[in-house]
Amino acid sequence: MSTDAATIRQALRDNQEEPEGPARNARAERLLAGAEQSGDAALLVEALVHQLQVYNYSSEKDKMFVPFARLLRLWDERPGDFDPFMTHHLFWMFKWVSSSMVDQPHIPLAAIEKWQGEMERRYRLAGHSERAVRQGELEIARHLGDLERAGQAYTAWQAADRDRMANCHACELHEQGSWQALRGLDEEALTAWSPVLEGEHVCAHEPHAVLAASLLPLLRTGRAEQARAHHLRGYRMVRPMESMRYSVALHVEFCALTGNEPRALEILADRPAYFTDSGNPGSLMDFLTVTAVLMDRLTELGHGTQPVPGPAGTDWTAALLAAEARTQALALAARFDSRNGNGHVGAQVRERLARRPLLDRLPLGVRAVPLAAPSGAPAPAVRPAATGPAADLAGLLAEAHRLSDAGHPDAGAAWRAVAERAGEAGGEADALSAHDRASVEDHRAMSPSLPPAEAAEAFRTAARLYEEAGDRGEAVAAQARSAFLRSTEEGAADEALAEIAPLVELVRALHAEGVATGRQVSGVLVCRARAHQQRMFQAADEESTAAAVAALEQAAREVLAFAEPLLGRDEVATRVSEALGFLADVSAYRGDGPAAAELYGRAAAVVNAAQQPWYAVEYEARTARIAAQLDDHETAERAARKALEHGSTSLSAAGRARLHLILAEVLGATGRFDEATGHALDSAHWADEAGESATLGAHARHQLGGWLLRLGRAAEAAAVLEAVLPDLSAEEHGDGMVVQTLWWLGDGLSTLGEPRAAAEHWLRAADIARAWPEQHDHAMLAQLAGQALYRAELNQEAERAYERAGELWRALGDVPALARTLRVRAWIAIRDGLPGLGAARAFMTEAERECEGPLLRADLADTYRQTAELLAHACEGDPGEAADDPARLAYEEALGYVDRAAAAFDEAGPEHLDRRTAAGLMAAWLEADLGRADAALRRAAEVLAAYEGVPAGADGTVDARRSEVESVRGYVAGA
């Protein structure tokens, strides 16, 4: 370890920028040892202050008390070793030490009160306000549950003057809101926090902590959307910060109470050390408490045997960890209560352990690994809701017939309930007629869970029973249904059609005799059309497919020819609807999207008119899909909304996901991003429910991230896009979608002030786009990466990215973009450790050459102006009086470039007036710095003259120019 003071000081500064955690703490300890060996008393103070800082922002807060006592002793013995900056730090850290003691149950309450009193005494002697002292007293009183003392401390805190020792505004507002929330005043808490949440006041740990604290108050006040946004934004902020276990616990609790248990498990898995880090027992108790809440919830939902993340060394299940976390949390609470002499902390923990979900489901927009199927939970009996479990067989039969006659999708469940009750009733089974037994078999065969072979046999059984019951028409229809099922077997469509052909002739004959109903005849005709559709699906080549399509069209038209005249007089609406759907399929196959959409719409209208909207759902969904492809947004939106409404009880999870996504995309295409994000969230949720997170869910989250970005909600967008990125691959989703996701994520991270991470994503996207035939996106991404790397002061990397972008712009013939890259490369060249002014001049000269064309005068002017700025920026010191003074020469040369810029802006046209006057003002400042007051004032007056006649307040740029003119005049007068 070096004992050189300068080396140690630089190492202390470098360590301050390292991530929180034991590694940073260990380096601080080694640097302290080096400072001790150096013999430099002031350096020792700096090293102790640094050690306190890193301990405070880590999981080892219990280590901060000893170095602080040592620092305080040094102050008492040798105050001269403390410069003003270190003196400020000493008194500032008194607050950290005093407030942190309440989280350490091994520190006696008397010692805490003594340190609080010592802080008050020393602040008073140093002339500091008591504001920070009273805030510290509030924290002690809150911890003890002494609300009377806490209220008095709060009042005194707010009444005291703010001074240099007061906590920052953001931290104070956090504490003010927390006090209101503790008193059950959620609205008042949220009001207090709003300046922090809106970015008016921030600090190193805010709004991180306030975002977490606001989650449950937002839910309790009915603002679930805002709570979701705060979770997405806030967890991204606290995730990399080891010291924020308390806030992480609040995010876990939020997820556990909003139906997001899988997300909560992923948060637990992010930092396994949180289960055992003991440096802050108070936050450990909070973390274990919410862990128990989550595990109890999982166990209650039937996931007690689910493997879960927990303390290392044990394979945890939810049930095991629930017991362990509860035991440890209560044990820690008991230690605090023993120290405090009351039961307040234990009561708080038990109240938290008893919390119940605030929402059954709140889609977050980020994917979490789904939970395994519940274990040990009995499957609910399937009974129609209208019958009730205690209904007798006669009641069940009546309900089954009613639902069958209505063509309701619950008819199958009703007939299953009849079969179960008949089987349970023993002798009562004889009450079922042959026709009823046929209906039971018929509907059993229609169950999607029954294998095709069993279903075909059930249809044949139903046919025999219908025949026995004297319903010959339904018997033929059941046989046709069995034949259709055979057509679904690979290569069996032709055989099935041969089997159906005589059934068609037979049912038509029965209808002529008055024995078969129109519904039964049309049912057989529909089965034939379905078999033709299967033949189309199974066709091996284009020719056979075209023949099958033509046959399907003919079969569908035969259904319509028979059934349409019977609409309103027989129960044939579903047959007509299905036939129209087949014709729509044919149109879609032939590429006639408008005709397909119109036919699907007609199919839906038929069953809606027959009061059977559940059958319309599929056609409305197809209408929405095709209309969206045709950019008929109005039709697509209307159809999607109807499908969601009509399928509210019958749609599968995957069907819901697709409809919500269609609707979201239509709304997004028409600029209604707020509503689009809601449907994208629902789409992602239902995709997860359907087990399609990585496919359909990825598409929904991709779109959601883009719309959130459009809405200016960059933090939420980044969280969603980061979560979806691992699911995306060029093979599954296409490289265009991968590039767009990376592009959007870079945009979001750049907005959030994370330029290095933004550059990484843009460069990944650029590497994919490198292989595309059209290279504009490649060039744009390389330039964006260069901009971000420039902002991050990663100069070598920025230079390479801009060089790459410039080569691409040159190849594309985009001279203005090429010139921009050259100008930025010039600025990079004069940064520390890089080639310098000579290289910068060369880049600017090259940019000038590129912009020589008559249509590029504005770009040339920008190059001249930036050359002037660069020359003035690069020189060291103010211009001297001597003619050969380097700074004076640089300013004179810069002035020449500004004049050339102004002339080029004039040539470029009046639309560049504002840029022309900006150059004029730059010239005025240069003249003033060169000591030429008259010239400076003349140039400033020319700027005013350019805007003569423009009233004040009419144009913000004009107002800004006039204000700067006054600044020039004031500067000249002062000089």
Predicted TM-score (pTM) of the model is 0.85
**Whole-angstrom distance, CA of residue 27 vs CA of residue 43:** 16
- pLDDT (tens digit, 9 = 90+) per residue, 273-292? 999 999 999 999 999 999 99
For helices 131-144 and 318-340, give the axis angle rounded to 10 degrees: 120
Mean of the per-residue pLDDT values of the chain = 92
Taking CA atoms, 555 is separated from 475, 508, 531, 559, 594, in Å, by 21, 15, 10, 6, 22
Q: Residue 213 in contact with residue 238, Cβ under 8 Å?
A: no
Q: Is the pLDDT at 378 greater than 60, yes or no?
A: no
Retrieve residue 184's tokens: 């059950």
Cβ neighbours for 398, distance < 8 A, ≥ 6 positions apart: none
What is the predicted pLDDT for the residue at 375? 62
What is the predicted pLDDT for the residue at 430? 61
**Mean pLDDT score, 650-674:** 92
Q: Is the pLDDT at 827 greater than 60, yes or no?
A: yes
**Mean pLDDT score, 365-388:** 57
**Whole-angstrom distance, CA of residue 808 vs CA of residue 787:** 16
**Tokens 């929330």 -> residue:** 181
What is the predicted pLDDT for the residue at 346? 97
- pLDDT (tens digit, 9 = 90+) per residue, 218-244? 999 999 999 999 999 999 999 999 999
Cβ neighbours for 541, distance < 8 A, ≥ 6 positions apart: none
**Whole-angstrom distance, CA of residue 685 vs CA of residue 911:** 50
**Whole-angstrom distance, CA of residue 176 vs CA of residue 191:** 10
Taking CA atoms, 760 is separated from 720, 765, 778, 805, 900, in Å, by 17, 9, 14, 15, 39
SS3 916: helix
Q: Indicate the Cα dihedral angle 736, 742, 746, 752, nearest 10°.
A: 130
Is cis: bond before 207, omega within 30 of 0?
A: yes
Q: Is the pLDDT at 415 greater than 90, yes or no?
A: no
**Whole-angstrom distance, CA of residue 269 vs CA of residue 271:** 6
Retrieve residue 550's tokens: 């033509």
Q: Is the pLDDT at 380 greater than 50, yes or no?
A: no
Q: Residue 260 in contact with residue 364, Cβ under 8 Å?
A: yes
SS3 307: strand
Taking CA atoms, 909 is separated from 4, 575, 848, 917, in Å, by 61, 70, 19, 13
CA 47 to chain centre: 41
**Whole-angstrom distance, CA of residue 959 vs CA of residue 69:** 57
Q: Is the pLDDT at 574 greater than 50, yes or no?
A: yes
For helices 735-751 and 776-791, give the axis angle rounded to 10 degrees: 30
**Mean pLDDT score, 413-420:** 84
**Tokens 């069958």 -> residue:** 404
Return the H-helix or E-strand segment holding 526: helix 518-537
SS3 652: coil
Cβ neighbours for 550, distance < 8 A, ≥ 6 positions apart: none
Q: Is the pLDDT at 362 greater than 70, yes or no?
A: yes
Q: Please state, as a whole number, how many other Cβ atoms lie within 10 Å of the Cβ of residue 848.
A: 18
Q: Residue 421 in contact with residue 393, Cβ under 8 Å?
A: yes
% of the chain beyond a pLDDT of 90 = 80
Q: Residue 512 in contact with residue 521, Cβ under 8 Å?
A: no
Half-sphere exposure of 706 (CA within 13 A, CB side): 21
What is the predicted pLDDT for the residue at 233? 94
**Mean pLDDT score, 523-527:** 94
Q: Please state, as a whole number, how many other Cβ atoms lie within 10 Å of the Cβ of residue 14.
A: 11
Q: Which residues pair with 203 in a beta bridge?
A: 206
% of the chain beyond a pLDDT of 70 = 97
Q: Is the pLDDT at 388 greater than 80, yes or no?
A: no
- pLDDT (tens digit, 9 = 90+) per residue, 293-350? 999 999 999 999 999 999 988 999 999 999 999 999 999 999 999 999 999 999 999 9
Q: Residue 416 in contact with residue 382, Cβ under 8 Å?
A: yes
- pLDDT (tens digit, 9 = 90+) per residue, 631-649? 999 999 999 999 999 988 7
Q: Is the pLDDT at 155 greater than 90, yes or no?
A: yes
**Whole-angstrom distance, CA of residue 655 vs CA of residue 621:** 9
**Mean pLDDT score, 64-76:** 93
Q: Is the pLDDT at 381 greater than 60, yes or no?
A: no
Per the model's pLDDT, the better-predicted residue between 484 and 379 turns out to be 484
Q: Residue 84 in contact with residue 45, Cβ under 8 Å?
A: no
Cβ neighbours for 959, distance < 8 A, ≥ 6 positions apart: 952, 953
What is the predicted pLDDT for the residue at 387? 42
* Buried-exposed string 761-787: b where 16+ CB fall within 10 A, e elsewhere: bbbbbbebbeeeeebebbbbbbbbbbb
- Give residue 949's identity as a one-letter amino acid code: G
Q: Which residues pair with 307 in a beta bridge?
A: 317
What is the predicted pLDDT for the residue at 386? 42
**Whole-angstrom distance, CA of residue 733 vs CA of residue 410:** 37
What is the predicted pLDDT for the residue at 306? 92
Confidence of residue 391 (pLDDT cuts 50, 70, 90): low
What is the predicted pLDDT for the residue at 943? 95
Confidence of residue 416 (pLDDT cuts 50, 70, 90): confident
Report for 93-97, 153-157, 393-397: range of highest mean pLDDT: 153-157
What is the predicted pLDDT for the residue at 304? 94
Q: Residue 523 in contact with residue 516, Cβ under 8 Å?
A: no
SS3 469: coil
Q: Report which DSSP code applies to 17.
A: T
What is the predicted pLDDT for the residue at 974? 85
**Tokens 């020359």 -> residue:** 871
**Mean pLDDT score, 640-661:** 90
